[in-house]
Amino acid sequence: MRETQAKNGCQVQKYKMLIDTDPGVDDAMAILMAHERAEVIGLSVAAGNVGLEHTLANALKLVEVIDTQTPVYAGCATPLVHASEDAADVHGSDGFGDTAYTPSTRSAESEHAALAILRASHEYAGSLVLVALAPLTNLALALKLDPDLPLRVARLVVMGGAVTGQGNYGTVPAEFNVGFDPEAAHVVFSAWPQFTLVDWEATMRHGLDFARFEAMLARGDARAKFYDSITAKTRAWSRGRGRPKLLIADALAMAVALEPDIVTRAEDHHVGVELDGKLTRGATVVDWQDRNARPANARIVLEVDQSRFEALLAAAVGAG
């Protein structure tokens, strides 16, 4: 499943990875991390943090900043069933902090994201790592087109959910990616036999010290400079809300995807998605006591090695 290549005299592990994403500033860090350590075969893009025209433009800009040829595929512009509110208040109205960056001259591929996921799963059958950092709309669509998709994917890592109901979006227990498109999350969680789940509450346990993070960006290269500019607004927003730490959910999920043994505590349980309820729509419901007859579909990540996580962040912006 992995290839290795020599870099700076050491062996660096390479994965074949497809990232489903809605950049978004925390997606941006995850994408930087992935390109440092994995063979990224594509970015399939969905609407989420902001509208698709922005998430697509941001994905194209990122591959330009990284100076790579990773293909970018446009996917779903809306959730499967109901319209949802985006997260422009956190990420900026363009999703990248409203810095008015010069748009990339690159274009997206003509293939739809869901079809690109399916094609990649055939091309790299058994060796593809899928990392889902967005609402699960593209992946749900791919699954509906071909329910055998999970059989060809080596590993699926999902950033989503709030496993004990401490969410960050909409209804109290909902987390953004699941809450934005609960039907899509339901399709994926009920059809995928086994995936790794990195939820919002794990993100809260793995926050980053603001000053240390900013010092790291100051030591980094052009990627760090770009990341610094697009995250200035989000960092101010986080500080303004009195958050003690900087939270980068997608980066944590990417760390788990890149280095599965970074996980120091996890539990396997069944996770479902609540589709109804004024107070509960979008909640991830975990059968912590394994009381129902459904087999565990999710490995729920509870803790990771924080220093290894931070080392991956530093390497991604040339500050390792």
Residues that bind ligand BDR (CB under 6 A): 24, 26-27, 49, 87, 133, 159, 168, 175-177, 200, 249-250
How far CA 44 is from CA of 13, 25, 107, 158, 297, in Å, comes to 23, 16, 13, 14, 24
Name the token pair of 110.
């003509």
CA–CA distance, 290 with 269 (Å, rounded to integer): 7
Nearest approach in angstroms of CB 218 to Ca ion is 25
Q: Which is nearer to Ca ion, 12 or 204 (CB)?
A: 204
Q: Which is nearer to Ca ion, 27 or 201 (CB)?
A: 27
Q: Which is nearer to ligand BDR, 44 or 49 (CB)?
A: 49
Nearest approach in angstroms of CB 8 to Ca ion is 30
**Residue 87's binding partner, choosing from ligand BDR, Ca ion, none, with beta-carbon cut-off 5 to 8 A by kind?**
ligand BDR
**Residue 249's binding partner, choosing from Ca ion, ligand BDR, none, with beta-carbon cut-off 5 to 8 A by kind?**
ligand BDR
What dihedral angle (degrees, nearest 10) is formed by the CA atoms of 318, 265, 167, 84? 60
CA–CA distance, 242 with 255 (Å, rounded to integer): 26
Nearest approach in angstroms of CB 91 to ligand BDR is 7
Name the token pair of 47.
């609407």
Nearest approach in angstroms of CB 5 to ligand BDR is 29
Q: Is 134 helix (H, G, I), strand (E, B) or coil?
A: coil
Location of structure tokens 């390109």: 35
Neighbours of 133 (CB within 10 A): 31
**Residue 176's binding partner, choosing from ligand BDR, Ca ion, none, with beta-carbon cut-off 5 to 8 A by kind?**
ligand BDR
Nearest approach in angstroms of CB 27 to ligand BDR is 5
Output phi, psi for 274, to 5 deg. Answer: -80, 125
Query: Helices (H) and strands (E) in the chain — how many of each?
Result: 13, 12
What dihedral angle (degrees, nearest 10) is formed by the CA atoms of 198, 200, 201, 206? 80
What's the Rg (C-alpha) of the chain? 18
CA–CA distance, 185 with 181 (Å, rounded to integer): 6
Q: Which is nearer to ligand BDR, 177 or 297 (CB)?
A: 177
- The residue sitting closest to ligand BDR, measured at its beta carbon, is 176
Question: Interface residues with Ca ion (CB under 5 A)?
Answer: 22, 24, 27, 133-134, 250
Q: Which is nearer to ligand BDR, 124 or 131 (CB)?
A: 131
Nearest approach in angstroms of CB 84 to ligand BDR is 12
Q: Which is nearer to ligand BDR, 176 or 227 (CB)?
A: 176
Q: Which is nearer to ligand BDR, 124 or 134 (CB)?
A: 134
CA–CA distance, 160 with 139 (Å, rounded to integer): 13
**Residue 168's binding partner, choosing from ligand BDR, Ca ion, none, with beta-carbon cut-off 5 to 8 A by kind?**
ligand BDR
Sign of CA dihedral 117, 31, 183, 267: positive
Nearest approach in angstroms of CB 47 to Ca ion is 11
Nearest approach in angstroms of CB 79 to Ca ion is 14
**Residue 175's binding partner, choosing from Ca ion, ligand BDR, none, with beta-carbon cut-off 5 to 8 A by kind?**
ligand BDR
Q: Which is nearer to ligand BDR, 124 or 286 (CB)?
A: 286
CA–CA distance, 124 with 113 (Å, rounded to integer): 16
